[in-house]
Every structure is written in C-alpha cells, then in structure tokens.
A and B are shown apart, each in its own frame.
Chain A
Amino acid sequence: MKKYLKNTWDALWTIFIGMKVTWKHLFIPSVTIQYPDEHRPIPDRARNRLYVNIDDCIGCMQCQRACPVDCIDIKTVKALPTDELGLTSKGTKKALWVTQFNIDFAKCMYCQLCVFPCPTECITMTKVFEFSEYEREKLLYNFSNLTLSEVKEKEENYAKFMEKKAAEKAAAAKAKAAAEAKAKQESEKKDNDNKPSSEEKDS
C-alpha cells in the first residue's frame, strides 16, 4: 500500500519535473540555422566547386591527368609565333590557346587532386557548394574564355599556319631536293663531261 502510494506520487512528481524541463526549453533560444538565409561559416580547406583562372592557365593538362575520374576535358591549340598571349601572373610564358576547359561537376568528387599539380596554381577550390541544377548538362562548366568563333579562328589560323609551314617545309624540301638534284646533276655532268650524249641535249 505504501509502495502503491509512493508510485503514484513518484509518477506525478517526475512528470512535473519533466514538464519543468520542457518549459525551460520553451524559452531557450533555438539552435536552428535557417539554412538558405543563414550559413554556417565554411572551413578554409573545405573542398567545394572548382574554379579555374583561365588567364593563368598554360594548358599543360596536368590537372586533367591527375583527375581520377576524368572529369576535366582540356583541348588546346598551339599559338602562332605572332600571337601575343601574355604572361601568367607568375611570369610563365603561355604558348597554348586553351580552346576548351570543361569540368563536369556531375562526375567530380571534389577530391582536390587536380589542384596540387597545377604549375601556375590557377585551378582552385571555392566556397560555393550550392549549385545544383535540374539538368545534368548544366553541371558541365566550361572555363575557357574563347568564343566558338575565336576557337574556330585559332584552329584555322593554326591549321593555316601549319599548312603554310608544311608548304614552306615542302618548298624547302623541294628546294633542297632540287638543290640536291642539281648538285647531283652537276656532279653527274662533271662525270659525263668527257663523253657527251644525245639524251643530254634533249633535256
């Protein structure tokens, strides 16, 4: 009987204590962070979306090789000797047009492995992590600052340059071949000087 009464009392009393606790918590300022409006500070070394400072990129493709999931896709075109590409901020001379610098963030796993090998430190991690999209294609970022027509132009230029060079080379080769042939001829001529023939006259 005594235990019974004590049980009852304990039940009521502990409920009362519990209610006191919750009552106190009712007035404690909440710990909620209203996410899209408020952000928690992002740690300095957090790995988020990549950014490429294309002005500094020398198109060496180190990052592409380092990426374990092959999500970086770089295409370069060699610059013409007449093109003025400028220097990177570190003073390295640029020799390539970076016509395409795609990073597919749908594939990227934010491992940061591409950041370290870059000789000019132009591919870096930013603090942006909210960039979800409705279409997967939109996650394919192109960092190259050349327009399509420019790319075409560069490619054509290069192609022309190469053609020209090839032509020059061919011409040079021809000239050389001609010269060689001439020299040969001349030496042959020397050999044949003593005994003239009818063929020679024709040629």
Chain B
Amino acid sequence: MYDLLTNLLGNQIVAYVIAASLPLIFVLTFVLFAVLAERKVSAHMQDRLGPMRVGWHGIIQTLADMLKLLQKEDIVPEGADRPLFNLAPLLTFLGTYAAFAAIPFAGIYVGSSTAIGIYYITAVSGLVVAGLLLAGWASDNKYSLYGAMRTAAQIVSYEIPTAIAILTMVMVSGTLSLMKISDMQTAHFWNWWILGGPETGIVKFLLIPFMIITFLIYYISSLAEVNRTPFDLPEAESELVSGYHTEYSGMKFAFFFLAEYANMFAVSAIAVTLFLGGFHSPIGYLGHSLGIDWLIPVEQFFWFAFKGTALVFVQMWLRWTLPRVRVDQLMVICWKYLIPYAVVNLIIVGIITLL
C-alpha cells in the first residue's frame, strides 16, 4: 500500500499521511452509520420507530446531530484542570485510533505491516484507559470521577481475559501478525479459526468447541472493554449522570462519542480477524472467477466491513436485551468466571495443538 501510494504521489510523507488517514474516513462513515443503526435497532427492539424526521426514515439524523454538536458552546467547568480537560478526549480517541493502524482491512491495506499487530493493539488500548481516567479527573465532578474509576477498574480487569483469549489464538496460529492470521483463514468459511482453522483431521474437530469458548470469552470481555451494556457501569445514566463525559459538551463530547463507536468497531474487527476469517470471503471471490484483479480488494473490504458490522450489531442487540450488571457482579464475572475459563481453555487448546 505504501509503495503504491509513494509511487502514485512521488512523496513518502504525503503517502504516509494519506495511508494513515484512510481508516479515519472509514471510522467516520462507520460512526455516522452506527449511531443511527443503534438508535434504529434500539427503537425497533422496543417496538418504536426511532428517528424518522431528518431524511427518509431519519437517515441523515446523525449528520444533523453532528452539526448541532459542532455549533454547541464549548464549556469548561470552573474547577476543571483546563489543559488536562482538553487533552482527555484527544487521548481517548488517539488510543482508539491507534488500534486501527494494525487492523488489516483488506489484503492490500493494513496501516502498519508490523509483525506484532495484535500485541500492539492490546498495548495501545491502555491509552484509552488513561484518557478516560483523565476525563473523569479533570472534570472536577464526583460523578465523572466515579465513572472514570469504574472504567479503569473494569477495563484493567477485563484486559486479562481478553489477553488470555488472544493468547490462545496466538498460540494456535503461531503468529502475532493479524495479516498472517487472516491469511491462514482464506478460501472458505470452514477455514475460519472458530471452526478449527486450517487444521485438518481430528485436531480440527477437537478444536472447534474450545475455539467457540475462546470466541465467547473474547467477545464478552471486549464488550466490557468498550463499556457497552451489560457492562456500561462507567456511564450508567441512572447512577452517574453519564460518567466520565458528564462535563463535556460540543466537539469534545463528540470525540468521546466517536472514540466509543470506533472502539466498538475495533474490537469487533479484532474478533473478526482472529476468529471469523478476517477480510477473507467465506465463499470465494467473484474477482477470481471473473478474472478481474481489482475486484478482489474491494470484495475483501466488503467482507471485512460486513463481518465487523455484524458483530457490532450483536453488540447493540445485547445492549437492548440485557440490563446492566452490578459492580460486584462485574468483578465476579471477570475474576471468577471468565479468567478461570480462559486459563483452562488456554491449557486445553495448548494440549490439542501439541497433538
């Protein structure tokens, strides 16, 4: 990708900047779409209609909301620590966006072809925690601080099962590079890791139940990492107004919002890459059969976006199904259930792969 862009533009720096902002375009469009989708999904699950006024069936409602947010007054509370207050949304979005650098969107596009992609992603998600803590702290508001504390405790706890689930995948696939993991699951859907991956024979069938368990563990703990219901304690409206972003308005609030939705896609994208074949088509490529080369990346991107969005939809579905858990339940789920399961699962999968 870089070479292509460098050749095209003749300048390395410009090529880098363009390549780095490609995911941003995707994220922005995704967020525009996802916010509306969330509202529509929630509405229809509650037998309502959701936004209907702006455009056909409210299709450009998010755009209108964004314009509204842009116009809003930027309020900084009096007791707030101004520079830190301004830094927090940026830091949060930075941590989220940094993860996109290592996610392979298609065979030809991955931000950084680093060999340790998945490790890098787990590391940069720490920046999000720092940003959220900062937001809660700098707002000088007890609800914000509570929310921030809860976020930090929650994300740090749930990073453990997430990391162990990822470790399981790294162990079976033998690589940290998301590109390589994707390429292992090419061709057909029975090559997806959730269905035993490219292994053959008895090992494949032994792997399937444990891969499903790994997927569930990853998915549940990733829900907690992006603060989605049932783990949305950090911004529990009924208890904490809206948690760490209570004091934010206008563009800064929009940044948090953007980061939240981008994060939703990021964790779904990782789940897709690790378990569901990444950007590879489950049924083979049209480009191959027609002999059109440029169609393949387009198809790959389509499948990637499709699978990621499907998982995001499941997140929304869960959100409008389950009530919020209590703080003690949150910790019980993590430490007493997810982590033991993840560890046992890791050991069993290790033994199976030795077979």
In the complex, are there CB atoms of A and B closer than 8 Å?
A: yes
Interface on A for B, CB 8 Å cutoff?
7-8, 11-12, 15, 18-19, 21-23, 25-32, 34
Q: 1/0 contact trace for B24-50 toward A, CB 8 Å?
A: 000000000000000001011111110
> In the complex, are the beta carbons of B44 and A8 less than 8 A apart?
no
29 pairs, A vs B, C-beta closer than 8 Å: A7-B337, A8-B337, A8-B341, A11-B337, A12-B216, A15-B318, A15-B321, A18-B321, A19-B317, A19-B321, A22-B45, A22-B317, A22-B320, A22-B321, A23-B317, A26-B41, A26-B44, A26-B45, A30-B43, A30-B44, A30-B48, A30-B49, A31-B47, A32-B43, A32-B47, A32-B48, A32-B49, A34-B49, A34-B52
Which residues from chain A contact B48 at a C-beta distance below 8 Å?
Answer: 30-32
Interface residues on B, range: 10 to 19
Query: Per DSSP, are chain A's interface residues mostly helix, strand or loop, or mixed?
Result: helix
Residue B355 interfacial (CB < 8 Å): no
- Cα A30 to Cα B317 with chains together (Å): 17
- Which of B47, B318, B321 makes the CB contact (< 8 A) with A28? B47
Which residues from chain B contact A15 at a C-beta distance below 8 Å?
Answer: 318, 321-322
Closest to B52 in A: A34
> In the complex, are the beta carbons of A25 and B318 less than 8 A apart?
no
> In the complex, are the beta carbons of A25 and B337 less than 8 A apart?
no
- Cα A123 to Cα B46 with chains together (Å): 44
Nearest CB of chain A from residue B37's CB, rounded to whole Å: 12
Which residues from chain B contact A31 at a C-beta distance below 8 Å?
Answer: 47-48
Which residues from chain A contact B216 at a C-beta distance below 8 Å?
Answer: 12
Nearest CB of chain A from residue B131's CB, rounded to whole Å: 30
Which residues from chain B contact A22 at a C-beta distance below 8 Å?
Answer: 45, 317, 320-321
> In the complex, are the beta carbons of B321 and A21 less than 8 A apart?
yes
Interface members, chain B 201-220 (any A CB < 8 Å): 216
- Cα A11 to Cα B230 with chains together (Å): 13
Which residues from chain B contact A18 at a C-beta distance below 8 Å?
Answer: 321-322
Closest to B319 in A: A22
- Cα A23 to Cα B49 with chains together (Å): 15
Q: Which of A8, A27, A32, A34 has the most CB of B within 10 A?
A: A32
Further 20 A-B residue pairs, CB within 8 A, beyond A8-B337, A22-B321, A25-B44: A8-B341, A11-B337, A12-B216, A15-B318, A15-B321, A15-B322, A18-B322, A19-B317, A19-B318, A19-B321, A22-B317, A23-B317, A25-B45, A27-B44, A29-B47, A30-B44, A30-B47, A31-B47, A32-B47, A34-B52
Nearest CB of chain A from residue B223's CB, rounded to whole Å: 11
